[in-house]
Chain A
Amino acid sequence: MRALRLVSQSLLPFVAGLAVLSMISKGLSGSWAIVLMVAGINIILAVSLNVVNGFTGQFSIGHAGFMAVGAYTAAKITMALRFVQIAGISSDASDQLFFLLALVAGMVAAAVAGLLVGAPSLRLRGDYLAIVTLGFNEIIRVIIENTPFLGQATGISGLPRLTNFVWVGMGVVATVVMAKRLAESTHGRALLAIREDEIAAEAMGVDTTSYKVRAFVIASAFAGLAGGLLVHLIQLCTPRSFTFIKSFEVVVMVVLGGMGSVTGSILAALVLSLALEGLREVQEFRMVMYALLLIVLMLTRPTGIFGTREIWDILPKWGRHRAQGAAGGSP
């Protein structure tokens, strides 16, 4: 039974996703594919940030910093292995394998950065994490701009275009499966307990610090994945892609969708990414609108669109029995 659930919930999405995504990617035209890929990367960012800001109730506002760590690590690896080919397989397959290696390395590097930033600040209660992550985001920029190895302000250009629709789609599947599996695990229950009442959770024997740090490390790793995918899509890796503006964009997505709702984050990331595409002419008003959105949302509906619920918790009929079966009938 356990094995069956593992297959159906953890492996099936990947296999089915791969098949469906390959089919869709054949029928996609150029510009639409790029818009969708950017949206997909934003979904990865929003869902992973939701693990920290939504599930755990902490507040990180430096997701782009971890993106940068992952992006530069991945970019450095693909640039180093650009002309190398594994013997015995086609050059295309070899590139794809190296890309997978680069992405995984980027995730690991981002996770390590997450540990270094999260461990000192998550020991404490309160809002320290917010200011530390904001600071980290700026520091990463300072470090990159002063390091010739990382290309300073101009960055690394001429990256091979390895990101395609299938890669982004699989990244989204991986992130969503991670978030859902996490939410339903013992670990996830501990995170929710910390969100609801940290003191009570501690009294119940939850090791709050280590759970918070682990959640933060996981989220950072997936931010690194998003960074790796992004730079191999735009074929350019500069500090400008990873400023605090990017971080706030992700925060707005999570807050708008509802902190703690995976489907809410997905929906908000999709809507905001597509809206952004439509609103290119009024770019300078974008951040002002985000700011007003945050303030008005907090004053009128601080839970965001979905709150902590998922989309099937509010849709009628066809999803109802599933929600009851899984979560014990929360309305």
Chain B
Amino acid sequence: MTEFLQHLVNGISVGTIYALIALGYTMVYGVLKLINFAHGDVYMVGAFVGLYLANAMGVEENPTIGKAVVIFVGSMMICGALGVVIERFAYRPLRQRPRLTSLITAIGVSLLLEFGFQLPSIPHLGIPFPPGPTPRFFPEIFTRVAWEPAGVHISNYDIVSFFLAVGLMLALQYVVYRTKFGTSMRAVSFDAQVAGLMGVNVNRVIAYTFALGSSLAAAAALLFAGSRPRIDPLMGLNLGVKAFVAAVFGGIGNVPGAMVGGLALGLAEEYVSGYMVSSYRDGIAFALLIVVLLVRPAGLFGTFRPEKV
């Protein structure tokens, strides 16, 4: 029973992170019908921006809540801006071209971030940027406190991360379904051309969508770095694929679906690797993806939309 509860805690803690990243995939897919391959790498950039901010403010010696807030807000804003820049220069010029073109560009941007960050640091910059290929250690942005009620190990990181993730998801839910921007976003997702004719500024909606998704990825990166503090430029590769699986599982293009998908994947990984084969942990997401594509390609909450000719 203790073991079961422990896996539940771990699974939810990882699952919320997957969900946050999956939201970025699903929103961009919703408006552009494009798998944003660079999304996992925006997540990686978020972790490194957080690291630089933490080092600049001396968080390691003297962590406070104020600094933690600055790190979160700063990292989310910089990543949001990065998302907008990527969209503006890599995807927007290609929007009218065949979709394969944007897909290849997305892969190019992803590689550029992954391997650009592995280059040797530029001298005389003050901060070690790019960070280079060796993994870095992410400092604790607030003091870790752990409890063991009924033998289940749970730390304040797990709790903060859970509530922060849920809070961000609720905020997103509000933005998408209750605000004017959310309405125009859903309109663009339904039919970009008609939405444009109805007076929606399609370019701006898409840019904001990227900003929103990318800042959520940055938040996910900081939350994840709390429990797994080794960060390196390739960390977004595997997590990106997993979050994408979560998005497909919930029904790509569907916002609540991404949250459920993320949680489901986190729990599935925890339980399968805990009770069965732990060494194949990274394979579970892939197996799930194949099963979803075979059984229900639209995902849990996705609706099948016939293709227009």
Contacts and interface: CB of A to CB of B under 8 A. Distances in A.
Interface of A: 57, 59, 61, 117, 120-121, 123-128, 130-132, 134-136, 138-139, 142-143, 146, 199, 244, 248, 251, 255, 284-285, 287-288, 290-295, 298-299, 302
B293 A295 contact: no
Interface stretch (B1-9, B70-78, B101-109, B202-210): B101-109
Contact of A294 (B108, B285, B297): B108
A97 B27 CA distance: 55
Interface in B5-60: 33-35, 37
A287 B119 CA distance: 10
Given A134-B241, A136-B286, A290-B111, A124 B103 contact: no
B289 A199 contact: no
B282 A139 contact: yes
Contact of B290 (A126, A132, A142): A132
A288 B105 CA distance: 13
A193 to B, nearest CB: 15
B293 A294 contact: no
B112 A292 contact: yes
Contacts of B178: none
A244 B107 CA distance: 12
Nearest to A117: B290
A91 B105 CA distance: 51
Scoring A59, A117, A123 by chain B CB atoms within 10 A of each residue's CB, the highest score goes to A59
Contact of A291 (B115, B237, B238): B115
A291 B290 CA distance: 28
B107 A142 contact: no
A288 B94 CA distance: 21
Nearest to A298: B105
A255 B283 contact: no
Interface of A is mostly: helix
B294 A120 contact: yes
A291 B112 contact: yes
B99 to A, nearest CB: 7
Interface of B: 33-35, 37, 90, 93-94, 97-105, 107-112, 114-116, 118-120, 237-238, 241, 244-245, 248, 279-280, 282-283, 285-286, 289-290, 293-294, 297, 307, 309
Given A123-B293, A285-B119, A291-B112, A299 B241 contact: no
B111 A287 contact: yes
23 contacts: A120-B290, A120-B294, A125-B307, A126-B33, A142-B280, A146-B279, A199-B307, A248-B111, A251-B107, A284-B115, A284-B118, A287-B115, A288-B111, A291-B108, A291-B110, A291-B111, A292-B112, A294-B105, A294-B108, A298-B104, A298-B108, A299-B94, A302-B98
Contact of B35 (A125, A127, A146, A287): A127
A199 B308 CA distance: 9
Contacts of B120: 284
Contact of A132 (B94, B118, B289, B309): B289
A302 B102 CA distance: 10
B282 A138 contact: yes
Nearest to B287: A139
B240 to A, nearest CB: 9
B289 A130 contact: no
Nearest to A200: B309
Contacts of A139: 282-283, 286
Contact of A127 (B94, B103, B279): B103
A110 B58 CA distance: 52
A135 B286 contact: yes
A294 B107 contact: yes
B109 A299 contact: no
B269 to A, nearest CB: 13
Contacts of A298: 94, 101-102, 104-105, 108
Contacts of B102: 298
Nearest to A254: B104
Contacts of A302: 94, 97-98, 101, 104
B291 to A, nearest CB: 8
B238 A138 contact: yes
A67 B279 CA distance: 23
Contacts of A128: 248, 293, 297
Scoring A121, A251, A291 by chain B CB atoms within 10 A of each residue's CB, the highest score goes to A291
B112 A143 contact: no
Given A255-B104, A288-B116, A294 B111 contact: yes
Contact of A123 (B244, B282, B285, B297): B297
Nearest to B308: A199
Contacts of A131: 35, 241, 244, 289
Contact of A130 (B103, B118, B238): B103
B42 to A, nearest CB: 15
Nearest to B241: A135
Given A130-B103, A287-B118, A298-B101, 19 more contacts: A57-B100, A61-B107, A120-B294, A121-B293, A128-B297, A131-B35, A132-B289, A138-B238, A142-B283, A143-B280, A287-B115, A288-B115, A290-B111, A291-B111, A291-B112, A294-B107, A295-B105, A299-B94, A302-B101
Contacts of A117: 290
Contact of B116 (A121, A248, A291): A291
A130 B244 CA distance: 12
B266 to A, nearest CB: 17
A292 B307 CA distance: 34
A136 B162 CA distance: 31
Contacts of B97: 302
A112 to B, nearest CB: 15
Contacts of A120: 290, 293-294
A126 B34 CA distance: 9
B289 A135 contact: yes
Given A123-B293, A142-B280, A255-B104, A288 B119 contact: yes
